[in-house]
Structure 1
Amino acid sequence: MTAEELTPDGRARVLADGGILPLLGLGVWQVPDGRECVDAVRWALDAGYRHIDTAQAYGNEASVGKALRDSGIDRDEVFITTKFFPREDDPVRAIELSLRRLGVDQVDLYLVHWPQNGPTWAWPGMERAAAQGYARSIGVSNFSESDLESVAASAERMPSVNQVSYSPFAFRQGLQKACQRHDIVLEAYSPLGTGRLLQDETVIDIVAGAARTPAQVLLRWAVQRGIPVIPKSVHQDRIEQNLQIFDFELSATDLARLDALDRTAHTTRALEHPWW
């Protein structure tokens, strides 16, 4: 990664298409539609988050939209991601429905949620969605290196982002390098291992020296490399704590210790066991 790929404040990545993707966002996977989701998004926006990540499959786009409206924050200040549910037939029709639920005219990033039916079948529809102004940027999620190569061979417009499971335990260096070759930003979901990594002995030892929470250390591990992360939480205190990752740095030694936790052999795969 070069310094030019970050914004001057060091808090966002500049995408190949010119989009600005904040390094920290709130993910709302497994957050039920309704009050719990609205509250989590409002707490995040009130705390200073400007990146919210949802998906058609999550069933909570309406709550994200309500929280955004209730916040009073200008739409242009918040980066909104949603994802095409690839069991549907048409990415264009699907995003039209997403925009209604979100209450916006356009999303900032629209991803193919996973490569069901093959990595290329949905991509022409994603390109049409962007051409019609429904999404500023388009990308993919859970795509392995081979999937990206297939898209690259036929795409008129390359994905700007590949959102994958990424953490010290899933340090997918091979996939990250494949993304870099195609000027695609790798974005991390499950950066806390859905909570499992918070109890790791190495993480706890580093926390003791850094006077930070385990979550802050794990998130810092990613953003210090310029990797955008979208931790999920429905607890106001944790949402606020997770934002406090831009005022410290991990040492080279601590980064290397965390790197050594990888269990994927630095794979080029996005998932060890695809679910589709």
Structure 2
Amino acid sequence: MASTAAAYQSDEGGPLDVDRAFYDRVAAGPREPVERFTVPIRSGRAWEVPAGHLCRLVTVDGPQVADLNVWNRHDPRERLWASRTRQLQRAHVSVYDRLWSTLPFLRPLLTVTADTLASYGRDAEGGRVHDLLGTRCDPYVNRMLTGEDFDFHCHSNLVRAVLPYGLTEFDVHDVLNVFQCTGLNEDDQYFMKDCPARPGDHFEFFAEIDLLCAISTCPGGDLSVPMWGPGSDVDPVEFCHPVGVEVHRADPALLTDWAPPEPAAYRGMHGMAFPLAPGGRS
């Protein structure tokens, strides 16, 4: 029988190991509030999280899915790589998991430090929360499936959110679906279930580098009403809720032995050599 062990592994103490005691101390230690705001329903917002800070997403007054994008604040070419994170971590993330960045950077952007839905585990249908399996809803698929235009899908919300930072639609990328319950059915197809979050539930992470983050409060709300197919003729607006965002500065005394991770060490040029200049000079 073929092994079902994780394909991507490192030796003990290697790059995939996490110093859990450190993140436990940071999560439980003193912190200084830096910023707090609420993202209204069916909208989006972007904000900065400096390295060494904690960011918490909160279901303010009811269950709500939030689609999260993450970039290097100083170079948006470095951003969340959802598919590699699925391989290096898992398809549904929780405490001590990391979100990894795209090539050629390949380093942790953030580490999850708190998750009040961690105990949800896997339900009878195989659903789990905080997924990297799917991506954001968008007006292009919506038009294809329904023949109608709608400008407040998560992709559009994220596009509007990042414009003040000089980013465009081309910078919006595959998301972490925070608070969303998903899985794969018997036919290996993606499914979504009602969001299990309740008022006050939260998902928190530690910024490993200076980050630009953005979320969309999904127009599907808690996803108790189908967005497409049978039953989707009901507008789920009454099941939509805002999401709170908090940014905290971790106690500097707890960070004395921590440093932002360096970009990937590979410098092999993919087996290519620099072309010769005219006259044979390199």
TM-score range, shorter chain: under 0.3
More helix by share: 1
Q: Look at both structures and tell me which one has the larger radius of gyration over its CA atoms.
A: 2
More strand by share: 2
Q: TM-score, normalised by structure 1?
A: 0.25
